[in-house]
Amino acid sequence: MKDEKVTAIITGSVFDHIPFGKAVILIKLFGLNGKYPYLMGSGLKSEKSPDGKKDIIKIEGKELTEEEINILSLIAPSVTVSIIRDGKVFRKIKTELPERVSRIIICNNTKCITSIDKNSDTEFIITKRSGEIFLKCKYCGREYKIDDVKIVI
C-alpha cells in the first residue's frame, strides 16, 4: 500500500503533491514552527508533477480549517489532503479553487478602503486564466497575481 508511510503520524493531516519548493511557504503560513510537530519532504520524485518533483508535509495533531484549505488551493492547487485518525486515512480532501477568498489576502492598493479602514475585511474574486490564478479586489477592482499578494492568517 502506498499510504503505509502515513502511519508516521497517528492523528493529523498529510498534504501530498505540493508543488516542489512550496512546502516551506505553507509551513510558514500555517505557523507550524513550534505549534505542531511535523515532517516535511521536499523534492521527492513524482510522476504526476510537471517537473517530476513534489513536496509533502505531515502534521501531527492538526486538522484543517476551511480558511486553511482555501490557502492550500490557492498556493498549491494540485495538493491532496488526507486526514489521519488512529494511524489510518480517515478522509481525503481534494482541494478546489474557491470562487472568493476573504480576510487572509491583503489588498496592495493603499487607496483601497480595506487598506484605509484596518477593521474592514478584504474580499477577492478568484479566476484562473491560462493556468494562472488571479485575484480581483471586490472593493477597488484591482487585480493581482497570487505571487504578488500578501497572505496573512
Closest alpha carbon to 83 in 8, 11, 7:
11
Under 8 Å between Cβ of 95 and 120: no
Maximum Cα–Cα distance across the chain: 54
Residue 137 binds Zn ion, judged by CB under 5 A: yes
Is the Cβ of residue 59 or residue 137 nearer to Zn ion in the bound state? 137
Residue 109 binds Zn ion, judged by CB under 5 A: yes
Residue 107 binds Zn ion, judged by CB under 5 A: yes
Which part of the chain contacts Zn ion (CB under 5 A), choosing from 6-14, 23-31, 75-83, 100-108? Answer: 100-108
Residue 140 binds Zn ion, judged by CB under 5 A: yes
**Strands 80-85, 12-19: pairing kind:** antiparallel
Contacts with Zn ion by CB under 5 A lie at: 107, 109, 112, 137, 139-140
